[in-house]
Amino acid sequence: MADFGKHKGIEAPTGPILHCKGWGQEAALRMLMNNLDARVGENPRERIVYGGRGRAARSWPAYDKIVESLLDLENDETLLIQSGKPVGIFKTQTHAPRVLIANANLVGKWATLEDFDRLEKKGLTMFGQMTAGSWIYIGSQGVIQGTFETLAALAAKHFGGTMRGKLYVSAGLGGMGAAQPLAAKMLDGVALIAEADGQRIQRRIDSGYLDVGYDSIEQAVNDALTATKESKSISLGVHCHANELLQYLSERHIIPDVLSDQTAAHDPLMGYIPDELSATDAQVLRHQDPTTYLQMARCSIAQHVRNLLILQKAGALTFDYGNNIRREAFDQGVTDAFEIPGYVPAYIRDLFNAGKGPFRWAVLSGQADEIYKLDALALEMFGDNPLLSRWFTLAQKYIHFQGLPARIAYMGLGERDRFALKVNEWVAQGVLSAPVVFGRDHHDTGSVASPYRETEAMQDGSDAIADWPILNALLNTASGAHWVSFHHGGGTGIGYALHAGAVVVADGSEDSAGRLSRVLFNDPGIGVIRHADAGYDLAQETLARHHERMRAPFVGPQTNIPID
C-alpha cells in the first residue's frame, strides 16, 4: 500500500507484474490511477478528472481505501463503490465482476442540481461524469474519435466529405472540448476555439491538440479567416469567453461555416465561467457564494445561446454538442434554444443503429509500440472501412498519448469482440508483454438515456425511457465484465441522464476469452435492440444479421395496452 498511497504525481504502474491477486483487480487499480495522472486528468489534486467536477474518488481517504481493497481483493469477491467510496466486499464467484460502481444516483424527485449539491456538501455523494467515476477515462485521446466521427458525418452531409476551406468555431478546451480543434484539423478544416482559462490553452498546445494560442480575438479571427481562404488545416485557441468571440463575429458579419460549443455548461457551477469573471476569480466566487455564481453563469449561458442563434440564423451550420446548454438557456427564457439541433439525431444515430460507438483500449504494458501493433491488427481486420482506416492513419500522426497508451475506434456489433479475442490470443502468445483493458465511453449505442443528447428525438418518443441503460448494466454484469458502473448526470448534468459503463480485460486466459466474447458482443447488442425496438430500419437490419447470437422476441412499440 505504501507504493500506491501517494496523492501527488500519481502514475499507473506498467508492465507484466501483478500487484493485485488477479488482472481484473489490477486493471481497475491501474485505470483508477491513470485517471488521476496529471497528464490525463484535469485537476488530480481535487480528484477531478474532467467535465467540471467528474471525480474518480470521493475523498483521498476513500481513494486510499479503494486502492487497499483492490490490492487485497480475491478472485471470487466483488468490491462495491458507492459514489466514489468503497462500502463493501462480498463473496460472489470467479466469473462475476470484481468491481461494481454506482455514482450520483438520486430518486427522481430529488434528481436536481440543487439537491445534489446539498448532498455532495454533506459528503454523501460524488459526481462521476461518465468515465471519471468508472475509471476508464483516457484523456482527450478518448473523446477525439467521437468528435472526428461527428465532424466527418457533418462534412459528408453538407460539404462533400471534407472540412477543407471551412471554419469551425466553438468554445471549451477542457477534457472533452480539447478534442474539437484537432478533430477539425484532422478533417482538413480550420478550428477557432474560445477558452476562458488561459492555462488550458497552453496545456492543449503542449499536448498537440492545439496549434496556436492567442490573447487577441482580432488576431485569432484574422488568422483563422486567412487559413480558411488558403485551405490550410490548423487549430487555433483564443483566450476569451465564448460570448466575446461570438459577439465579435456577429458584429462584423463573419459567419462560421460550422458552429458549436463544448464548455461544461451542464454543470454551470463548476464547469462554466461567467462573462464577468476570470478563471481565477471564478474559482474564488464559486466557493464563497455559489448562489450568486450560478445566477451569473446561467445569465452568461443564456446570452451564449442567443449568440449561437444569431449566427445560426445568419447561415452558420450550428449544432448542440450534448452539454445541455440549450436547456440551461431555455430555463433562462431563451424559448427558441431548441431550434439548435442536437448532434446525435443530426449525425450519430445511424452509427448507434449499427451498434457502433466509442470503443477503447489501453495497454497495461505502458509501451506505445504495442498500441501501434494493435493499430495494425485493426487495419488488417477492418481495413475495408475507409473512415476507420483514415482514422488509424491520422491517429498515429496526430494523437499524443496521455498516461497509459490508449486508442479509441468506433467499432460496431460483431467487430469489438472479434478484435478483443485476437488481442487476448496475442497476450497469451507473448506478442504483447502485458494485458490490455477494453472499455468504452458511456456515450454508446445502448448505455444511455439522455433526452438532450444520446436519446434526443427518438422516432418512437422513448427519449426519457431509462430502462435501457439499467438493462445494459445488468446484462454486462451477467456477462462477466470485470467492472460495471451505473451513473446519473454525466454529459448533460444532474437530472438529465442515466448511463452505464463496462470494462473487461484481455489477460490471455480462457476466463478472459469468455468474458470478452460475451461482454463485447452483448454490450453493443442491447444498443441495436434498443434502436430496433424504436423502429429504426438500420437497427432492425443489423439485428437480423446477428440473429444467431441475440434474439428480440418483440420489436416495436405496443400501443393501446389495456390496464387491469
pLDDT for 399-452, tens place per residue? 889 999 999 999 999 999 999 999 999 999 999 999 999 999 999 999 999 999
Residue 197 lies inside a defined structural domain of this protein: yes
Whole-number pLDDT of residue 176: 81
CA distance 523 to 473: 9
The secondary structure of 298-313 as a DSSP string is: HHHHHHHHHHHHHHHH
CA distance 142 to 144: 6
Nearest residue to 349 (alpha-carbon basis) of 476, 262, 443: 443
CA distance 56 to 42: 11
Residue 334 lies inside a defined structural domain of this protein: yes
Residue 466 lies inside a defined structural domain of this protein: no
CA distance 486 to 324: 20
Q: Return the beta strands (E) in 27-76 as ranges.
A: 48-50, 54-55
CA distance 289 to 230: 48
Residue 97 lies inside a defined structural domain of this protein: no
CATH number at 274 reads 3.40.50.10730
The 10 Å Cβ neighbour count of residue 537 is 10
Residue 482 lies inside a defined structural domain of this protein: no
pTM (2 decimals)?
A: 0.91
Nearest residue to 49 (alpha-carbon basis) of 59, 58, 40: 40
Is the Cβ–Cβ distance between 68 and 62 less than 8 Å?
no
* Beta-bridge mates of residue 437: 362, 505
State how far Cα 504 lies from the chain centre: 18
Q: What is the Cα Rg of the chain in Å?
A: 22
- Count, residues in the chain: 564
CA distance 457 to 476: 26
Whole-number pLDDT of residue 140: 80
Residue 314 lies inside a defined structural domain of this protein: yes
Is the Cβ–Cβ distance between 36 and 43 less than 8 Å?
no
Whole-number pLDDT of residue 562: 57
pLDDT lower than 50: segments of the chain: none
Is the Cβ–Cβ distance between 102 and 35 less than 8 Å?
no
Is the Cβ–Cβ distance between 452 and 327 less than 8 Å?
yes
On the 0-12 / 13-18 / 19+ scale of CB atoms within 10 A, 178 is buried
Whole-number pLDDT of residue 557: 66
Per-residue cell: 453: 443528447
Residue 425 lies inside a defined structural domain of this protein: no
Whole-number pLDDT of residue 69: 98
Q: Domain residues for 183?
A: 140-341
DSSP state of 523: H
Question: How many domains does one find in the chain?
Answer: 1
Nearest residue to 70 (alpha-carbon basis) of 131, 4, 139, 136: 4
DSSP state of 86: E
Whole-number pLDDT of residue 217: 98
Residue 199 lies inside a defined structural domain of this protein: yes
Helix or strand holding residue 208 (H, E): none
On the 0-12 / 13-18 / 19+ scale of CB atoms within 10 A, 47 is buried
